[in-house]
Structures are given as C-alpha cells and as structure tokens.
Amino acid sequence: MWHISFFSILYFCLFFLIIPHQTAISIDIINQTCKKCSDESNIFSYEFCSVSLQAVPASHVTNLQGLALIAMELALDNATNTISIIKQLLTNETADPFALECLKDCLEVYSEAVTMLVDSIAGFLEEHYDTARVWLSAVMEVATTCADGFKEKEGVVYPLENENYSLFQLSDIALCITHLLSQVVRS
C-alpha cells in the first residue's frame, strides 16, 4: 500500500513540477523563434507567429522541427479552408463578374498551394530544407497573386483578405524556421 501512495505522490510531483516547466520552456522556444524571425524580416509578424504557434497544444512540447511542421500544417489547413470559402463565394449569382473571375483564379492558385504545402512537408521530413523553402516561398506568392487580382479593378471588394494574410504569415513562419534549421545543418 505504501508503494502505491509513494508512486502516486511521485506522479503528482512530476506532473505538476515538470509538465508546467516543459510548457514554459516550449513557450520560450516559440517566443524566441518568433522574435528571431521578426528581427530578420520587416514583413514577419511576431504577434501572429506567437499567437498561432501557442494556440496549438502540441507546440508546447516540441522542438524547432516540430514548430516548423506545425506552421506548415496550419498553412495547409488555412489553404484547404480557403478553398471551401472560395467555392462558397463562387455560388453567389449576384456577385460582380470580375470578382467571380478573380475568385476562380484564387481557387486555382490555392489548389496549387495545397500541393506545394504537401510537397514542402515531404521535403522537410526528408530534411531537404532547401526544397521545402522553395515550396514555402511559392505558397507565399500564391497569397500575393490572389490578392493582386482583385486590385486590378477599383471598387472590387476583396473577400479573402484575412485568409490570404494568414496563409502568407503561416508560410513565412515555416519558411523562417526551416531557414534556421538549414543553418544548423550546414554548421
């Protein structure tokens, strides 16, 4: 009976002393990584990076490689969800014909982005960081391309602003972390 109580107390101590400490360390890794990336780029959002990564429970118990994968998975989820939003917007029969054409273009490039993100994840998992970085950069261009189409005609409302911003930032997070990892590998 004493052994059960001892192990219960030991488990209790480990759970409440080590797990919160591990979470604090992981949040420090997230904050340090986001800070380093934001220091290297004027388009990188520290706040977006920190909030996005900390929102995923797995990020609290991972390393730099895990953070990169989490960012890529978040970008993939974003692109997939945006495709659904675009398809829904395309069903609006009263929408501006120009906006509908722009949405069709966005649907095409977002579909390509999903493939690029899957390829970047595969390259990353094989530690082909340069390949992953090329794909991630291409995904960032998708967000820019989609947004630029709507700017060609004055007065057209751009309905994907938040989704595009998120895709761009999430891809940039993954790109920066992958860059950091490739520097470590080369050292």
Q: Which domains does the chain have, with CATH numbers?
A: 2-186 (1.20.140.40)
Q: Are 60 and 23 in contact (CB under 8 A)?
A: yes
Report how far residue 132's alpha carbon sits from residue 138's, in angstroms, rounded to the nearest whole number.
10
* 90-113 pLDDT tens trace: 999 888 999 999 999 999 999 999
pLDDT score of 24 more than 70: no
Supply the pLDDT for residue 186: 64
3-state percent helix, strand, coil for the chain, nearest multiple of 5: 85, 0, 15
Angle of CA points 28, 30, 32, to nearest 5°: 65
Q: How is 40-100 classified by DSSP, letter by letter?
A: H-SS--HHHHHHHHHTSGGGGG--HHHHHHHHHHHHHHHHHHHHHHHHHHTT-TTS-HHHH
Confidence bin at 25 (pLDDT 50/70/90): very low
Confidence bin at 20 (pLDDT 50/70/90): very low
Which of 142, 125, 123, 141 lies closest to 133, judged by CA? 123
Higher pLDDT, 22 or 178: 178
pLDDT score of 5 more than 70: no
Confidence bin at 28 (pLDDT 50/70/90): confident
Residues 6+ apart with CB under 8 A from 103: 86, 89, 90, 95, 159
Q: Are 120 and 72 in contact (CB under 8 A)?
A: yes
Arithmetic mean of pLDDT over the chain: 86
Confidence bin at 47 (pLDDT 50/70/90): very high
And the tokens for 14?
Answer: 């480990």
Supply the pLDDT for residue 9: 38
* 140-166 pLDDT tens trace: 999 999 999 999 999 888 999 999 999
**pTM for this one?**
0.84
Angle between helix 2-40 and 161-186 (nearest 10): 100
pLDDT score of 85 more than 70: yes
CA distances from 158 to 45, 92, 118, 183 (A): 21, 14, 27, 38
Supply the pLDDT for residue 185: 65
What letter represents residue 118's amino acid?
Answer: V
Report how far residue 74's alpha carbon sits from residue 180's, in angstroms, rounded to the nearest whole number.
19
